[in-house]
Chain A
């Protein structure tokens, strides 16, 4: 403390021996050296060598990048880590650098130091990066790619149509182009947190003889105790609770099945490929699970269909009395997810059996977990022209 007071005293009065020239020149030189040094250090942290000096960066993102067009292409220009992941504008760059200090914790605590840990966190990390791109309207991409410089003629007709529309809106590239420099996370494994938040986890005690709708895809079981799964019950399926025991309920599923193989898939109605439940082969053949009724032939396919009622157990959670909240969620998801890249067709534009093919063909382009996928597909099918006669 004493030396500091001494220095303070010295600084507080005019210098006796140091000339104004010495003071200003040394300050000037130090200014240059400091600022130069600072920016050199900053640039050092902005090189690929620096990024991949961490094992987790080198082993996954860097290796994956090498398989993409951003690593090697006919123009010989390649993107390095900071080109896409650090803003080029000075202020934003400093902000990003400070934000990245958070990554130091990950390094210290070894959050993603193995392949398993990395994969487990991949969706979370990718979502964070997508959010950043979203916020910037994909500025990182647009530092190199420019809508105005695109040569439409060398694009396919379909690409032209999509890109021209995107150019008009100055659309964010990441809206459509996800998973182009690193592997796309596996969206299917996580349940649907937003759906659960909106629709809820169902009745606390489902009553016997009442009908309910499934608010998630649910596992089916042989009885009220066993962990052996007997199949899956599709989302938004109407079931009737027959009896309740502990955490399980016995339910009845009405529907139709195709008379081929073990006939283990139960559909919503005759001739419609709307999934209600898929039993395992063993469960479908098990005595007392499926009760069969009349048969009919589908003139479109020549297949024989059979009306069935399955009686089987499931967990008593995620059974809701009202179907509408599920449809509301599905409609919102359909409208927002699909309109990102194109105008989405009306629900009633296709019939119930055409929708699955249409929907599955597009699903790779959007970020949707399996429950939401199944729900949206069912929403589209049950609001298709098969049911809504007003459209065509």
Chain B
């Protein structure tokens, strides 16, 4: 593994790191956040549907 990395040029590594960062901040985290919020909303909906009033 160390050898593989050593064989990569500095330019390649830089582009990889930029890609990884963009992936995280533009795709992964927004998707996770929206999924999380939706799941939260869904839970609230279900609690209200089956459990009646929720505290607010």
From A26-34, A201-209, A261-269, A286-294, the one touching the partner chain is: A26-34
Are B17 and A92 in contact (CB-based, < 8 A)? no
Are B42 and A135 in contact (CB-based, < 8 A)? no
Show the binding face of B for A, using Cβ within 8 Å: 10, 13-14, 16-21, 23-26, 29-30, 33-34, 37-38, 40-45, 48, 52-54, 56
* Majority secondary structure, B binding face: helix
Contact residue among B21, B30, B33, B54 (Cβ-Cβ distance under 8 Å from A23): B21
Docked complex Cα distance between A44 and B41 (Å)? 18
In the complex, number of A-B residue pairs with CB atoms less than 8 Å apart: 71
Docked complex Cα distance between A139 and B54 (Å)? 12
- Given A7-B23, A34-B30, verify A97-B41 contact (CB < 8 Å): yes
- Given A10-B16, A17-B17, verify A98-B25 contact (CB < 8 Å): no
Residue A136 is within 8 A (CB to CB) of chain B in the complex? yes
Contacts of B43 in A (CB 8 A): 95
Q: Name A8's closest neighbour in chain B (CB-CB).
A: B20
- Given A17-B10, A95-B41, verify A30-B26 contact (CB < 8 Å): yes
The tally of residues in A whose CB lies under 8 Å from a CB in B reads 27
- Given A30-B25, A98-B41, verify A135-B16 contact (CB < 8 Å): no
Q: Name A98's closest neighbour in chain B (CB-CB).
A: B41
11 contacts between A and B (CB under 8 A): A10-B20, A11-B20, A16-B10, A16-B17, A17-B14, A23-B21, A30-B25, A95-B40, A95-B45, A136-B53, A139-B56
For the complex of A and B, list the 8 residue pairs with the smallest distance between their C-beta atoms, beginning with the closest.
A95-B44, A98-B41, A94-B41, A30-B25, A10-B20, A17-B14, A99-B45, A7-B20
Are B48 and A135 in contact (CB-based, < 8 A)? yes
B56 → A minimal CB distance (Å):
5
